[in-house]
A and B are shown apart, each in its own frame.
Chain A
Amino acid sequence: MPAAIEINSVRKTFKKRRGKTTKALDGVSLVIEEGELFGLLGPNGAGKTTLVRCIATLLIPDQGKIRLLGRDVFRHQLLVRRDIGLVTSGERTLYWKLSGWDNLKFFSALYGMDPRQAEKRIDFLIDLLGLNEFSRDRVERYSSGMRQKLSLARALLHDPKILLLDEPTLGLDPQFSRFIRNFIRQDLNQKDKKTILMTTHYMDEADELCDRIAFIDRGVIVGLDTPSGFKRAIPHEEILELKCQGLFDATSIEKMSRVEKVSLVHENGIVILKVMAQRSEDVLSDVIRDLSAKTKILSINVKEPTLEDVFIYYTGRSLKDEPGSHHE
């Protein structure tokens, strides 16, 4: 039986101004089996969306092959598109001047659905996603979460075998995020057995939902495992995490003999320093001494490694880093 998604040595370079180029994908290879919920994890600009767009036939790679259920996506693109449902993040992916119901009705025609069957399916999906009360309202009156639910309904209209979810919970409030996560795991993956490729830079989301995860950074797959496998692979049982006020230079900490990796993340004006060492207590006093001279330490914690820490271990970068930044 062919794999649901088979990506083989895919490369994509974008031309920028003044003859410069950006390598968005640099020889990516992946195999995702049918029924798998697969997470693609990486910071902004890592190549996640580019890869999803290549699979969805929106973007043509410079090199490499992509096969969906055994079919080459560029040779058989109209056929392949019947098997794909796409959800992207972002407010504007629907007709705001149409009702939710009319949006779904229009897209059902694009998927060649019989009008009566389409109407039944639309009613079913609207009910499933809890949009009944608002289905005849214009989308411009919906909240972000409701729009994302409607986007999910659109992706499911033609009952595709493969779902591509690009940052499906980005910008949603916790209640809607929780609903979408549960829906993805329980309804789509466990009950309907759909193959799902989702991108995210929320590590807890990937940890909670995905059967397997690939880390992508600068267009390269840098790690591929199950969430628990990843955590086992990291040779540290604990991570030293210090929250500090104001920017500082962490080079001196990086150079400490028993420190293996250091990362800095800026979050709402607070700098979070993560230090990986064989034993946290061996470096704790040196780190505190060094930092006290440079900044104000707000809190100190010793934590079990998360997927974020695993990502830092593999790449030296945080998932929250902007493209081009690097701490190592």
Chain B
Amino acid sequence: MSSTPLANNLRVIIAEAVKMWRVWRTYKILIVFWGIFPLLWVLPFVFQGRALVGGLASANFKNLTGTEYYLPYILIGAMVSTYVFSGLWGIGNSLREETYWGTLEYIIISPTNPIVVLLGKVLSEFVYATATVIFQGLVCVLFFGVPITLAKILPIMLIIALLLIGFYSLAIGFAGLTLLIKETHGLVRTMEWFFFLFSPIRYPVEINPITKFVSMFIPLTYALVAIRMIVLFRQPGVSLWNVILILLLMDVASMLVGYITFTQLELRTRRAGTISMH
């Protein structure tokens, strides 16, 4: 045990990610599902686009958003939300999984801070979500002409990184909440629909003043605006630097909220004696 705390924590993060991968690969049906899913996920959006606007572009849509490319607009929303929802399901739900496996108490009684273990779950979710998004991106570029070029990838990655730092931090706080509230599916579903409703994943939030107002407090809104701006618009509607600054501030707030929420709720569950309860 002579390594530095940083080296130890990095080992835990990798060990946790490897463990999740090993557990996951034993469920063969999941491998089949995730092999097919990235190729088929786009079809509902294509059918929806054809039914509503008759193709990939719409003049009416341009009045609202500044771009006539309805389908690429929606596909970008779907790709970025893949990251968000994998974080919600994967990290938020992960401690419940450990409870079902009966291993949570053994993680808690180890000398490693459980947040480090959660960072391992973040890594495993990030790898999975990135692989999925790369597949989705290829489908978008090759079959639907979404103009993602190599030059655009770097700024997109920066925006996504800023989005994920904040979002995964909140997911860690959410994982703490699942220690207290033992039912996670309802919570995750509620959060999912909250994001679908109040951030521009599937439609421009400008469509309604309430959705527009609430969306201002959701980092996903800024990330989607920025990424769509990079991919679809030649004339930026908002300053990219402003978006980066807002996301940075939201990241700091999210990290604080996530950390405090998790540590306080973990403490509270240890006081109540309900840490391993189902």
Cβ contact within 8 Å between B101 and A95: yes
CA distance A56 to B16 in the complex (A): 22
Cβ contact within 8 Å between B109 and A58: yes
Task: Specify the main secondary structure of chain B where it touches its partner.
Answer: helix
What is the CB-to-nearest-CB distance from A16 to chain B, in angstroms, rounded to a whole number?
Answer: 11
Cβ contact within 8 Å between A60 and B111: no
Chain A residue numbers with a CB within 8 Å of B101 are 92, 94-96
Cβ contact within 8 Å between B102 and A114: no
What is the CB-to-nearest-CB distance from A58 to chain B, in angstroms, rounded to a whole number?
Answer: 6
Mark each residue of chain A from 208 to 237: 1 if its CB lies under 8 Å from any CB of chain B, else 0: 000000000000000000000000000000
Cβ contact within 8 Å between B106 and A59: no
Mark each residue of chain B from 99 to 115: 1 if its CB lies under 8 Å from any CB of chain A, else 0: 00111011111111100
Chain B residue numbers with a CB within 8 Å of A105 are 15
| Count of interface residues, chain B, beta-carbon cutoff 8 Å | 34
Cβ contact within 8 Å between B109 and A57: yes
Q: Nearest CB to that of A138 among chain B residues?
A: B26
Chain A residue numbers with a CB within 8 Å of B106 are 86, 93, 107, 154
Q: Which bracket fits the contact residues of A?
A: 35 or more
Chain B residue numbers with a CB within 8 Å of A95 are 19, 23, 101, 103
One of A74-82, A267-275, A302-310 at the interface: A74-82
Q: Nearest CB to that of B10 among chain A residues?
A: A109
Q: Nearest CB to that of A108 among chain B residues?
A: B15
Cβ contact within 8 Å between A111 and B1: yes
Cβ contact within 8 Å between B1 and A114: yes
One of B53-61, B138-146, B247-255, B268-276 at the interface: B268-276
CA distance A86 to B111 in the complex (A): 13
**B256 interface residue per 8 A CB criterion:** no
What is the CB-to-nearest-CB distance from B126 to chain A, in angstroms, rounded to a whole number?
Answer: 19
User: 23 A-B contacts, Cβ less than 8 Å apart?
Assistant: A14-B272, A14-B273, A50-B273, A58-B105, A58-B275, A59-B273, A60-B267, A82-B111, A93-B106, A95-B23, A95-B101, A97-B26, A98-B19, A106-B19, A107-B106, A109-B11, A110-B111, A111-B1, A112-B11, A113-B1, A114-B3, A115-B11, A158-B1
Binding site for A on B (CB under 8 A): 1-3, 8, 11-12, 14-16, 18-19, 22-23, 26, 101-103, 105-113, 117, 267, 270-273, 275-276
Besides the known contacts A58-B275, A158-B1, 11 further A-B residue pairs in the complex with CB atoms under 8 A apart: A57-B108, A58-B270, A81-B109, A82-B111, A90-B102, A93-B102, A106-B15, A110-B15, A110-B111, A112-B3, A154-B106
